[in-house]
Amino acid sequence: MSVRRPPEGVPDFADIVYGVHRCSHGHGEALPGGFELHSNTGQNGYTQVTITKEVPGAGRVRFSDRTIFGLLAVAVFSPANADQRVPDGYHFTFGRPPLRLEINHWWGHAADFPAVAAQESMPRVTLDFGHMMNDL
Q: C-alpha distances in angstroms, 48 versus 77, 120, 127? A: 23, 18, 12
Task: State how far the Cα of 82 lies from the Cα of 99, in Å rounded to an integer.
Answer: 21
What is the per-residue pLDDT for 130? Answer: 64
Assess contact for 79 and 108: CB atoms under 8 A: yes
The residues, any chain, with a CB within 8 Å of residue 71's CB and separated by 6 or more, are 17, 21, 22
pLDDT tens readout for residues 70-103: 888 888 999 999 999 999 999 988 887 888 999 9
Provide, rounded to the nearest whole percent, the portion of the chain with pLDDT above 90: 23
